Structure 1
Amino acid sequence: MTAETADRTAGTDDGDRRREQRGWYFYDFACSVYSTSVLTVFLGPYLTAVAKAAADAEGFVHPLGIPVRAGSVFAYSVSVSVLLAVLVMPLTGAVADRTGRKKPLLAASAYLGATATAGMFFLDGDRYLLGALLLIVANTSLSVSMALYNAYLPQIAEPAERDTVSSRGWAFGYTSGALVLVLDLVLYSGHESFGLTEGEAVRICLASAGVWWGAFTLVPLRRLRDRRLAAGEAHRPAEGAVGAGWRQLVATLRDMRRYPLTLSFLLAYLVYNDGVQTVISQASVYGSEELDLDQTTLITAVLVVQVLAVAGALAMGRLARAYGAKRTILGSLAVWALILAAGYFLPARTPVWFYALAAAIGLVLGGSQALSRSLFSHLVPRGKEAEYFSAYEMSDRGLSWLGPLVFGLTFQLTGSYRDSIISLVIFFGLGFVLLARVPVRRAVAAAGNPVPERI
């Protein structure tokens, strides 16, 4: 390994690399509160209630004159946000790789998302369009920032340690999510003793996630560093960021055709992760609207997910070291399919069964995501980390629009959230088959990277 390559893939020594890794963990710690408190717990039921307050006698709202069932507003907003992210992420990834400056772009996207989330404090009455707009901005910003954040992984971790580093990042995120959910539970459950209405307590919980996101983003921004471009790349100008970004996007898509096995993994990940992201974003709506569970039960259930996800991410990281990341991910997908099948039959108004389902989700959630990220890092050609991780993030969040759309359309047509939840099983079944067909060792070698002993 040359000195130049070493500088691109790690710090100048072990101490610098460890310092960057610790700083890198903290972006998961910062932004995961949005994913848990906002996207998973509070915003779905709250935005649905706001949309219902604005609905007509038939239960429809009419954004831009289009009739939309109020119960589908949240799911459709998530779909719009990730479609927008598809347009933005490749541009930022291309600019990051052309300039070698990921950190300013990470800061801009993180603070735009944090500001939009903090602005959810003003979501009340029948302002469902404001809620949808803030959700779209925050979710898009999260996707962009995560693409840039993930692109640091192959630069701060050696191949043999990426499963561990990625799993620790997810563990940090789930730890912060659990901590803030405890505080949210105290505030929400005791809102009357704090002199607050229920709606005010929810809006404070939403806004505080944005403040947390912005505050802890300072840690990775201080510790992560931008890498100098390789000699053959240093001449590439960053002119016309948007135009250059689109040209680079086309070039990236063409370049990825040279690595068909990497594309095969991305296709598999796109399919099964679409199911994961939809379960995460729609679980609270399913619990409140179909299972008739109160907000306190939903918060407690997600807290169970967060606590067990920390242990699950670390445990699955150890399983990957013993059996390989691919086999461990395949096992988790089988568990996901069983979870959804069980969810379809959950009786209403029985929190104990909902908690049991939450525990099962927690045990596979963090590990399946962390190992997918670390496995992909081995499939990225050197020097194209931001571009390829933008494509990965498009699969992670940017292209995870089909699941929410299917979920929302199923409810729109049937009026049943049970039908919506069972429709997601196909994503895990098809994803399992596609991933099983990917020869990951050949894929790593084809990308020009060293093949780990076990993958």
Structure 2
Amino acid sequence: MSASAPPAASDPASEPAAARRREQRGWYVYDWANSAFNTTVISVFLGPYLIPVARTAACAKDFPDVPAETCASDFDRLAAASPGLGYVDVLGFDVRPAAFFGLVVTISVFLQIVILPIVGALADHTGRKRELLGGFAYVGALATMGLYFVEGDRYLLGGVLFIIANLAYGSSIVVYDSFLPQISTPDERDAVSSRGWAIGYLGGGLLLALNLVLYLQHESLGVSEGMAVRISMMSAGLWWAIFTLVPLLRLRNRPVPAHETTALRSVGGSFRQLGRTLKELRRYPLTLLFLVAYLVYNDGIQTVIGNSAAFAAEALKLDKTVQISAILMVQFVAFFGALLLGSLARRHGTKRTVLGSLVVWTAIVIVAMFVQEGQALQFYLMALAIAIVLGGTQALSRSLFSQVIPKGREAEYFSLLQISDKGSAFIGSLTVTIALQLTNSYRIAIVSMIIFFVLGFVLLAMVNLPKAIRAAGNEVPARI
């Protein structure tokens, strides 16, 4: 198989502006579709719901004589007074219930590290990006809908379904992101990437608002709290499945060089292509440096977001209403934040804007150590700061990365980027899991993320972006 780029027809500058805009609008809708999983499931409901499910299982196993409600409310004291008890079994290992959600996140992201580069190589090798996007999206949506059946002591079912959903989610995002350089010119990418991220916040926020109504009014609707949470998680899967139809109708595949025709041979060709891509990274040292910088600071971002609801519940003792309303506020403020950072990038340069956002992230995790228990206002102010920099940091990073990768290899390179994206990153989530296992303190776990932002800042500052863009054979935008 040749490693050459696809034919020139895939160059977005050669296509009519109206055709590009049509695809761009369809592309935006997938962010609207999948963000429901990120907000409703990852950021709000699953962590605080799955931990008590794991506690229920631990209570039944280790404290069968204690009434279930008493055990659930007094679990930490019972576990502290009984060395060796208060754990759940995961593949033969004893795991604290508080650390179980972090563990399944870690496992899911580890699997992403293994599988996403293969997904990217397969997408570029076959050119069947639209079909792959739809396949991964619907596997993830179905697994998310299956979370409705997680109740009682079914913590393992919840963990397995989340791992499948998060792996499919990450795989779909690899393919989705790889469309960006195919549907936008270099000077359009900051704006297109920022709009996609902003629209995603609106979609995720709208469904979360509807779920907030259900959760707050569950008693008047004759629905239990647990049932309201399960319906909310199922609704995220339905939302994801329904709105995915729009990008599948709007986006189109681009031509690729001749390749193996059978599925098995295509997979084999994809492995060979992946090997060539990894070796080729040595030819693009600045692209590799940017990738490492992004993986480091995005580890911190995704870990903070993925553990925000659990942090509010476990460290601050805030109820679910505060957690959901804060995340809901983040969704709508982040829409404007993504557009704001996109505007700042046009004025001051994309790299400077991202570096400034990392300074804000560093301040946020330091402040988290001092937020007082039960102080909802302080938590809301911290969430507001997150909302302003959240979408813009990631959208502009995605745009920057699209500039420093060679044409025709978008999905392969974006798969490397996505290893650390939206679903909580491996090293960060592992750090939180270890901190919780050793200290049982969410404050210490969150503040440990400071090293990711500081190191990421230093590495990004070292990247000579114009040189990296030219080395990849791309045109340097007017402002970078």
Q: Same fold (TM over 0.5)?
A: yes
Aligned to 2:418: 393
Task: Output aligned runs, 1:6-25, within 5 Å.
Answer: 6-9=9-12, 12-25=15-28
The AA in structure 2 aligned to 1:101 is R
Percent identity reads 53
Shift of 1:59: 2.2
Distance (Å, rounded) in 2 between the aligned partners of 1:157 and 1:236: 29
Matches within 5 A, 1:138-217: 138-217=165-244
Match of 1:305 in 2: 330
Counterpart for residue 291 of structure 1? 316
In 1, Cα distance between equivalents of 2:93 and 2:12: 50
Query: 2:107·2:163 contact (CA, 8 Å) conserved in 1?
Result: yes
Deviation of the 1:399 alpha carbon = 8.4
State how 1:415-434 maps to structure 2 within 5 Å.
415-434=440-459
Q: Offset at 1:6?
A: 4.5
Alignment partners' CA distance in 1, 2:26 and 2:248? 8
Match for 1:30 among 21, 29, 33?
33
Tell me the CA shift for residue 11 of structure 1.
7.1
Structure 2: gaps of 5 or more residues: 64-84
Aligned ranges for residues 31-180 of structure 1 at < 5 Å? 31-55=34-58, 56-57=62-63, 58-180=85-207
CA distance in 1, matches of 2:422, 2:196: 17
Q: How far did residue 248 of structure 1 move?
A: 2.1
Q: How far does the alpha carbon of each residue in 1:175-206 deviate from its partner, in whole angstroms, 9 at most, with x for none?
A: 01111111011000000111100000000000
How many pairs align?
451
Deviation at 1:3, TM superposition (A): 11
> TM-score normalized by structure 2?
0.92
Kindly report the root-mean-square deviation, in angstroms, between the aligned alpha carbons of the 2 structures. Answer: 1.5
Q: Does residue 1:439 correspond to 2:464, yes or no?
A: yes
User: Equivalent residue for 1:254?
Assistant: 279
Q: Deviations over 1:83-141 (max 9, x none)?
A: 11122212221121111110111111000000000000000000000000011000000
Question: Which whole-Å CA distance do the structure 1 matches of 2:416 and 2:273 have between them?
Answer: 12
Provide the secondary structure at the position in 2 that maps to 1:257.
helix
Alignment-mate amino acid for residue 147 of structure 1: V
Residue 337 (structure 1) aligns with = 362
CA distance in 2, matches of 1:100, 1:308: 36
Distance 1:358 1:191 in 2: 25
Q: Helix, strand or coil: the match of 2:404?
A: coil
SS in 1 for 2:307: helix
Tell me the amino acid that sits aligned with residue 156 of structure 1: I
Aligned 8 A contact 1:288 1:294 in 2: yes
Letter in 1 for 2:189: R
SS of alignment partner, residue 191 of structure 1: coil
Alignment of 1:370-389 (within 5 A): 370-389=395-414
Is the contact made by 1:8 and 1:227 (CA closer than 8 Å) also made in structure 2?
A: no
Whole-angstrom distance in 1 between the partners of 2:424 and 2:265: 26
More deviation, 216-225/251-260 = 251-260
Q: In the alignment, residue 45 of structure 2 is paired with which amino acid?
A: F
TM-score, length of structure 1 as denominator length: 0.97
The one-letter code matched in structure 1 to 2:233 is: L
User: Take 2:9 and 2:221, find their aligned partners in 1: how far apart are those partners?
Assistant: 54
CA distance in structure 2 between the aligned counterparts of 1:422 and 1:117, rounded to whole angstroms: 30
Tell me if structure 2 keeps the 8 A contact 1:168–1:313. Answer: yes
How far apart are 1:396 and its partner, in Å?
A: 2.2
Partners of 1:326 and 1:236 in 2: how far apart? 40
The Cα of 1:30 is off from its aligned counterpart by 0.1
Q: CA deviation at 1:211?
A: 0.2
Q: Which runs of 5+ in 1 are unaligned?
A: none
Shift of 1:4: 4.4
Q: CA deviation at 1:262?
A: 0.4
